[in-house]
Amino acid sequence: MTLVPGADSAVLAARIDTTAPGASVKDSFADLDLTEAGFQVLFEAQWIHRPARAPAAASDLAWDVACDPDTLRAWALAWDDGGGNAGLFRPELLDDPATFVLAGQSPDGRVIAGAVASRSDHVVGVSNVFALDGGPDAAWPVVLDSVHWLFPTLPVVGYEHADDLEVAVRHGFEPVGPLRIWLHV
């Protein structure tokens, strides 16, 4: 991930193990050209920001923070929805005191929506937003409700693209800058 604009593409590419499958770069300012190093743009997105405030739309889902491997596994299976990537979320994630796996639950207790919230001193980063029914429009109210309850004074940030960006804007986010994800091919 680039932390400052204008990073030297060649120097950055030389530091990446491109022999590892899935080698990628989060180009935080969308200002790199990594094609010479064998990368291609996976997608372009927008950083988003939402001031600290309660969500405009209330959620009818109960929510909780996943605190044990079984709940994390249920969350990951719901997030994955049969895609074969549920194993990306390892139990060690629960050991990180700044990471909160938010699980929106149906009346019968099944995980049907959620996100990952990562807290810093100044913001809460949100990623992996999903809902099994209704897509991100159904997920954002429960995610924003839980983030506001956990961290009422912190703004929320993340990145989205395409239709998911439009949904985030409907839920009070503002696009604040471009980014790119590069994948080594």
Give the distance from CA 73 to its chain's centroid.
17
Sequence-distant (≥ 6) Cβ neighbours of residue 83 within 8 angstroms? none
What's the rounded Cα separation, in Å, for the pair 49 and 39?
28
Torsion on CA atoms 98, 101, 104, 105, rounded to nearest 10 = -120
What's the rounded Cα separation, in Å, for the pair 65 and 98?
12
Q: At which residue do the structure tokens 């995610």 appear?
A: 143
The tens place of each residue's pLDDT in the chain, 185 residues long, gives: 898 999 999 999 999 998 888 899 999 999 999 999 999 999 999 999 999 998 777 788 899 999 999 999 999 999 999 888 888 899 999 999 999 999 999 999 999 999 999 999 999 999 999 999 988 999 999 999 999 999 999 999 999 999 999 999 999 999 999 999 999 99
**Residue 135: both structure tokens together:** 């897509």
Q: At which residue do the structure tokens 């029914």 appear?
A: 133
What's the rounded Cα separation, in Å, for the pair 136 and 133?
9
Burial of 63 (0-12, 13-18, 19+ CB in 10 A): buried
Q: At which residue do the structure tokens 């604040």 appear?
A: 176
pLDDT score, position 61: 87
pLDDT score, position 60: 82
pLDDT score, position 20: 84
Which residues on neighbouring strands pair with residue 127, listed in sequence order? Answer: 116
Is-contact 52 172, C-beta < 8 A?
Answer: no
Helix ranges (DSSP H) in 15-170: 69-80, 135-150, 162-170
Is-contact 48 174, C-beta < 8 A?
Answer: yes
Helix 162-170 to helix 135-150 angle (10° resolution) is: 50
